[in-house]
Structure 1
Amino acid sequence: MPYREESLFLPVSGSDILHLRRIRHATRDDGAPVLLLHGVMANGRIFYSDSGKGLAPYLAAQGYDCFVLDLRGRGNSTPPIHRHSRHGQTETITEDLPAAFRLIRQLRPDSPMHWIAHSWGGVHMTSTLVRYPAMIPHVASLVYFGSKRSVHAKNLNKLLEVDLVWNLAARAIIRSCGYLPARKLKLGADSESNKSHRQSKYWAKIAPWVDSDDGFDYRQAAQKTSLPPALYFAAINDPCRGHPDDVRRFRAESGPHVSCMHLLARQTGHLHDYNHVSLLTHPDARHDHFPMVTDWLAGKYHAIPENI
């Protein structure tokens, strides 16, 4: 096996403990650290599996030191989300991600890190960086898979998945249960708290990029900062959860920064017409576009074509 694994546990409040799965090369300890973050109704398993599949084992085999974060109450973080959970995306942005950042800095003080996210995780990561710009010099690059902040797409999938299920049905379930048990209902891989659902639902509805807790204006802050170089992957078969046009809008509102947007599709030379999940989980991804990730992390920005 070209990598080794361990679990790290990080207290972030009086009762909440974050889990980070550390996956690194079997013999090397000098690889650049990488923080990986999942999206909503998900956990860190989007990046790895027991059989060694996924982006994190792939990067570890290339020498990178990966830290896959389970946000508060998800995956192996404790306690699991329940009806009395009061945390939301404000806590993700202001507490969880900064805590993970500090832990990696403590373990690897001399190595700039890279940040990688899937879906809404990219919104969380960018929000943290523009809110705390002192962190930016320590983050060498960003790679986002299907990350969008607001849903402008208008199609049947958006009507069913976003308007009906996410906006209406999920709120009704939360009023009954106190939280969204997405895994039990087979809507996703993990649960969402009432607050995390409410806050992300608001932002996705083309609302201002403003924190509902304290009014912090992330869009305004983004215009005053420069994010690390960012690679934005979009999938052609992703009609609403990461529509290419919405990914482009997210890049634009994140302020001026070195960036590239790359469409994963047969028409752009890839093996498949990927969707919102398969762009990370398809077995062919490691041969198709995961090498682009390592090129970006290595600073080979011109090696990735802007094709959309």
Structure 2
Amino acid sequence: MQSSSELFPVALISAELRGDLSEDVYRLKPGNSPDFSVELALTRLGMHGQDARRGVPVILLHGSFSNRRFWYSPRGLGLGPFLARAGFDVWIAEMRGHGLSPRNQAYRHNRVADYARYDLPAIAAFVREQSGQVPHWVGHSLGGIILAAALGGHYLGESEVASAALFGSQISRIYWPLKVPPVEWGGRLLLKRFPVLSGARLKRGPEDEPIGLALETLRWHGLFGRFGERGNDWWAGLAEVRVPVLAVAARGDHQDPAWACRKLLEQFGSPQREFLCLGKRHGHSDDYGHIEMLVSKPAQGEVWPLVEHWLRHLALPARPGTDGSGDRAQHASIHP
């Protein structure tokens, strides 16, 4: 594997021009986890002819059943290209076995714990090496949960994370049947019969998810479950995190409701925390859904500029006003 890093083997597997954008795809082989076959694809987007003047790095993490195309369509559209055209140094990560990242030998057993403990620190180290700056992170759904796990588990800290933005990410929604041990046990026995969860069959997206991820989620939501792993309580660890955090929920998102997204944000000990709910009652043009909050025509005009503003100023633009519940219509700043 051709190396372009002093950290671990890295291959530049493609370098292309996509209209006004430059696209470099790297494949990292960090060798820092028990499964040494793990390789991670990392796409770097910038403006053609401006490689020597790269801006602040931003790392984008996709959600479950997804890949880099959530952020960056073949036509050069998406939040990734938008931020690159705004002058940011954009890096789009793909989790093990997703998109251009090949399936590792133990793919079936992959968990959030593996992504948080091994993969995100390797990605952070490489981006810092290449850019010379501490990156900002943006995660959608499971991507945001993985980022929260890495922060709460203290696998990432202020030297690797300039700020964290979590879109549609939560772990507090209660599934009452799973609180009954026989139901949870039965679910585990059923899931263990399958190597993967098929995104196509479940109509959830273009990618599969390893069964280890589903089993891990069952444990979190079980009777005595917690967000963490043995010997490391990620939920408790979030109270010690100090990096700026933005949490964004969508009023039309029934999968990850706003109250649960806000609860995750409130667990962070960060002095600088902001919460934003996207919906008509909050002054937006649409009651956004789980995907539409970042991938839709309205999001292009309303949400993407807010992300850019957050990354530049670590604050959302102030828009005063209250809704019927007394919450701020546009967003709320939360102080520990």
1:177 paired with 2:177, answer no
Aligned ranges for residues 69-108 of structure 1 at < 5 Å? Answer: 69-79=93-103, 85-108=108-131
Which position in structure 1 is the counterpart of 2:310? Answer: 296
Give the drift of 1:287: 1.2
Give the drift of 1:152: 3.8
Which position in structure 2 is the counterpart of 1:231? Answer: 246
Residues 1:184 and 1:173: Cα distance change in structure 2 (over 3 Å): farther
Q: Tell me how far apart the structure 2 counterparts of residues 267 and 248 of structure 1 sit (CA, whole Å).
A: 17
2:168 corresponds, among 146, 151, 157, to: 146
Q: Name the stretch that deviates more: 111-120 or 294-303.
A: 294-303
Residues 1:112 and 1:61: Cα distance change in structure 2 (over 3 Å): same
**Is the CA contact (8 Å cut-off) linking 2:63 and 2:143 kept in structure 1?**
yes
Residues 1:153 and 1:85: Cα distance change in structure 2 (over 3 Å): closer
Q: Tell me how far apart the structure 2 counterparts of residues 245 and 153 of structure 1 sit (CA, whole Å).
A: 15
Q: Tell me how far apart the structure 1 counterparts of residues 61 and 221 of structure 2 sit (CA, whole Å).
A: 18
Which position in structure 2 is the counterpart of 1:220? Answer: 236
Structure 1: tracts of 5 or more residues without a match: 160-166
1:193 corresponds, among 210, 223, 226, to: 210
Q: Which has the higher helix share?
A: 1
Q: Tell me how far apart the structure 2 counterparts of residues 5 and 204 of structure 1 sit (CA, whole Å).
A: 40
Which position in structure 1 is the counterpart of 2:158? Answer: 136
1:21 paired with 2:43, answer yes
**Is the CA contact (8 Å cut-off) linking 2:244 and 2:270 kept in structure 1?**
no
Give the drift of 1:256: 3.7
The number of equivalent residue pairs is 292
Residues 1:19 and 1:184: Cα distance change in structure 2 (over 3 Å): farther
Could you give the per-residue CA deviations for residues 171-210 of structure 1, whole angstroms, max 9, x where no partner exists?
A: 6764333221223443333111121111133325683222
RMSD after superposition: 2.7
In structure 2, give the amino acid aligned to 1:125: L
**Is the CA contact (8 Å cut-off) linking 1:148 and 1:247 kept in structure 2?**
yes
Give the drift of 1:139: 2.1
Q: Tell me how far apart the structure 1 counterparts of residues 258 and 50 of structure 2 sit (CA, whole Å).
A: 37
Which position in structure 1 is the counterpart of 2:92? Answer: 68
Larger RCO, structure (CA 8 Å, separation 6 or more): 1
In structure 2, give the amino acid aligned to 1:100: I
Q: Tell me how far apart the structure 2 counterparts of residues 205 and 48 of structure 1 sit (CA, whole Å).
A: 36
Give the drift of 1:137: 3.4
**Is the CA contact (8 Å cut-off) linking 2:194 and 2:211 kept in structure 1?**
no
Could you give the per-residue CA deviations for residues 257-301 of structure 1, whole angstroms, max 9, x where no partner exists?
A: 311111111222212111000111102212112111111101151
Give the drift of 1:87: 2.1
In structure 1, give the amino acid aligned to 2:286: H
Residues 1:50 and 1:204: Cα distance change in structure 2 (over 3 Å): farther
**Is the CA contact (8 Å cut-off) linking 1:173 and 1:180 kept in structure 2?**
no
**Is the CA contact (8 Å cut-off) linking 1:142 and 1:231 kept in structure 2?**
yes
> Could you say what secondary structure the match of 2:102 adopts?
coil
Which position in structure 2 is the counterpart of 1:164? Answer: none
Q: Name the stretch that deviates more: 9-18 or 177-186.
A: 177-186
In structure 1, give the amino acid aligned to 2:297: P
Task: Tell me the TM-score normalized by structure 2.
Answer: 0.79
Larger Rg: 2
Q: Tell me how far apart the structure 2 counterparts of residues 205 and 293 of structure 1 sit (CA, whole Å).
A: 35
In structure 2, give the amino acid aligned to 1:94: R
Q: Name the stretch that deviates more: 144-153 or 44-53.
A: 144-153
Give the drift of 1:56: 0.4
1:210 corresponds, among 224, 228, 231, to: 228
Q: Tell me how far apart the structure 2 counterparts of residues 153 and 78 of structure 1 sit (CA, whole Å).
A: 33
Residues 1:190 and 1:49: Cα distance change in structure 2 (over 3 Å): same
